[in-house]
Amino acid sequence: MIQFLKIILLGILYIVISPLLVAILALAMVYGLFVFVFLLFKSVFLFFTGRTIFSDYPEDVAAKKILGQIKEGNAPASTGTPQ
């Protein structure tokens, strides 16, 4: 019963703030479209320089290097070819 009342109260809250939610969604969509257009031009430019916008950032490269080192450190030592 309390759960049901909570859902009803949430319903009232969402109806009251729905204009604000719609405004946020619309603003985010406009902002997202600007981001899309900007990245579209950037991706076209990068395409002709032989690169892509989906390549790793320097931070990703550094993190992958560290993870690789950790994996190598944890790997069991090679015993060489069996005699």
First-to-final CA distance of the chain: 74
Find the shortest distance in angstroms from Cβ 2 to another protein: 13
Which 14-73 residues touch another protein, going by CB under 8 A? 14-15, 24-25, 28-29, 32-33, 35-36, 39-40, 43, 53-54, 57, 59-60, 62-63, 66-67
* Nearer to another protein among residue 7 and residue 77 (C-beta): 7
Token pair in block for residue 20: 């604000």
Q: Report yes or no: 64 and 56 within 8 Å, Cβ to Cβ.
A: yes
* Cα–Cα distance list, 38 to 7, 31, 34, 44 (Å): 41, 11, 6, 10
Residues that bind another protein (CB under 8 A): 4, 6-15, 24-25, 28-29, 32-33, 35-36, 39-40, 43, 53-54, 57, 59-60, 62-63, 66-67
